[in-house]
């Protein structure tokens, strides 16, 4: 075997192989993590946690669907950010200064992005309090329609004319939910 071929194979067995393993691992974690979240939410949706009327069980299914979507998006984001950082490390980037500067930038962005933080915190409390979920008929910010998607930052509502509205959770001050009783 020639020296150039041997050098190429040695190089391929190094950084490119490790990066490929990182990417395959990230895809594996995302795929099986999403499946696990889906299974857990399906079990939660079908479990009779609160005895009583059947509309509570339907509400529980909608809530499980909403929480499952948020958890899957969080898993996907975290997995690929970590995989990107690991891949950059394999290319020889020193991640220490990057992480340190990310803390400083995080403070600056946090101060500058107060509305983003408010939207996310409002989304978290909205999910915890179960104010509304996917499929609910709501009256929010002068818009009447059906909730199509609930995220930590934005809620998507389709009105009666078919218009899809994107509502920032931090701007939602009052919600009328026709789907919830008592």
Task: Provide the domain limits for residue 30.
Answer: 3-93
Please state, in angstroms and as integers, the Cα–Cα distance from residue 45 to each residue in 61, 125, 128, 159, 182, following that order.
Answer: 4, 20, 16, 26, 21
Are 135 and 82 in contact by the 8 Å Cβ rule? The answer is no
What confidence tier does 55 reach under pLDDT thresholds 50, 70, 90?
A: low
Residue-wise pLDDT for 147-170, tens only, equals 988 888 889 999 989 999 999 988
How much is the pTM? 0.56
129 and 89 in a single domain? The answer is no
The b/e string for 33-63 (b: 16+ C-beta within 10 A; e otherwise) is bbeebbeebeebbeeeeeeeeeeebebbbbb
What confidence tier does 108 reach under pLDDT thresholds 50, 70, 90?
A: confident
How many folded domains does the chain comprise? 2
60 and 17 in a single domain? The answer is yes
């Amino acid at each position: 075997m020639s020296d150039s071929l041997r050098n190429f194979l040695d190089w391929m067995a190094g950084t490119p192989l490790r990066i490929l393993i990182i990417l395959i691992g990230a895809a594996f974690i995302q795929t099986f993590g999403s499946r696990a979240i889906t299974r857990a939410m399906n079990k939660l949706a079908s479990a009779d946690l609160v005895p009583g009327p059947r509309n509570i069980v339907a509400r529980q299914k909608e809530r499980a669907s909403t929480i499952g979507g948020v958890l899957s998006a969080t898993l996907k984001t975290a997995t690929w950010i970590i995989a990107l950082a690991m891949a950059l490390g394999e290319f020889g980037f020193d991640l220490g200064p990057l992480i340190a500067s990310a803390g400083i930038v995080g403070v600056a962005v946090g101060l500058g992005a107060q509305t983003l933080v408010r939207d996310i915190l409002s989304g978290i409390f909205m999910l915890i309090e179960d104010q509304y979920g996917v499929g609910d008929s709501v009256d929010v910010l002068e818009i009447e329609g059906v909730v199509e998607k609930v995220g930590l930052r934005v809620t998507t509502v389709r009105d009666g004319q078919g218009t899809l509205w994107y509502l920032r959770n931090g701007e939602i001050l009052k919600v009328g939910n026709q789907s919830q009783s008592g």
